[in-house]
Structures are given as C-alpha cells and as structure tokens.
Amino acid sequence: METYYNKGKGLTSVEYKAIKKFKVSKTKQSCSICCQQFEKGENKFIREEGLYRLGRSGNPKAIEPLLKALKDPSSSIRQYAAYIMNFKDERIKPALIEALKNETSLYTQKAIINAIRTFGTAQEDEEIIEKYSKRLINDLKETALNVKDNSKRLHAIFEMVNLLGEEPKKHEDFVIKILDSDISSEEEKILALRLLEKTHTDKSISAVRRA
C-alpha cells in the first residue's frame, strides 16, 4: 500500500504541493515512470514532481527528458529543469547555452545561467551570457513601453519587476516611462509607483507627484 506523506517530513515544496493537491505518492519510481509523469501529467505540479524525480534519479536515461524540458512552453518547467540539471554530460552545457539564447523569462534565465556556470565558463561563455542577458532586458523594456497588446505588455512588466525589485535605481528611467506612458493600464502604473517608492530620488518623487 502506498504511503502519503505530510508537510514537515523531508519533502520538497514541489513534492508537497503535488501530494497535497493531487495525491501523488512518495514512492520510488523507475526513470520511465517519472518520464511519463513529467510528459503526460495533467497539471504543472504533477509534471514538476516527475521532473524532480528524474533529476534525483542519477539515471543517464533522465538526461534526454531533462533537455527536452528546457524547451517546454512553461517557464516554470524550464526553470526547474535548469535547477536540477545535476548530470555531467557533454550534451548539457551546449543545450543550456541554446536555451539561454531563446529564454523569455528573467527568473528562468537566471536559473539557466547558474546551471551553465556549474560546468565552468570560458570568456566566450561569459560573453554569450552577457549578450543574451542584455538582449532579454532590452526586449522586455521595448515590449513594456511600446506593444499595444495588454497581455504581452503586462507580462513584460511583471518580468521586469523581478529585476527592478533588486535594482530599482538602475532602471529608474524605465519605470518612470511606464508611469508616464499613455498606453499603461492602471495596474501597470500601480506597479511602477510601488517600484519608485524604493528609489527615493528627486526624479522618482517628481514622477510620483505627476501621477
């Protein structure tokens, strides 16, 4: 009989969410079963737990599905795949670099960069990391300020918030542009105001007063 565990007994947050919500059992599973759980799971919690088991398995057969996960439509799945890429295999680093070039999420991009660096980085690798990190930030800024599609613009702003929360002063001008933009929604302007509150510069105070 399968045993279901409760929070506080050594489970990861992903395992706990999956078990609590969907009654996934904490039993040792073969690599093929874990792969099926990841590829065919009906929701992201089930898929993430299958991915977790693959990463923890130590089985070389897990490498292919983990590499496939780097191309998944879900940014959380891509991010998780990068975090648990615990194999030393010549296919992994090139796959991570390729994933970096196409990534659209800042959080996932950070996970991919950290994973690349666990393999050691030459100057050429660091140049690639810098290039695509800057490109993603510029793409998100362009979308946040100029794209008229509300969902795309809001996604870009939320992504930028992840970065701006860490370095609000560095991107102060960008936040002020969101606040002053004619196409920014009320929700977007509220986000901008919250971020500007962290900078406490004369420029930001003036922008808040205009709003």
Query: Residue length, the chain?
Result: 211
- Farthest CA pair distance, the chain: 65
pLDDT in the model for residue 165? 60
The per-residue pLDDT for range 35-66, each reduced to its tens digit, is: 888 887 778 788 888 888 888 777 888 889 89
The per-residue pLDDT for range 166-187, each reduced to its tens digit, is: 666 677 787 788 877 777 778 7
pLDDT in the model for residue 93? 92
Q: Which helix (H) or strand (E) holds 193?
A: helix 186-196
Angstrom distance (rounded) from CA 78 to CA 100: 11
Nearest to 147 by CA among 183, 106, 179: 183
The per-residue pLDDT for range 131-150, each reduced to its tens digit, is: 998 888 888 888 888 888 87
At residue 194 the predicted structure's pLDDT band, cuts being 50, 70 and 90, is: confident
Residue with tokens 């998944």: 72
What single-letter DSSP state applies at residue 92?
H
Total Cβ atoms within 10 A of residue 196 = 24
- Does residue 16 carry a pLDDT above 50? no
**pTM for the complete prediction?**
0.66
Q: What is the mean pLDDT of the chain?
A: 76
Specify the 3-state DSSP secondary structure of 9. coil
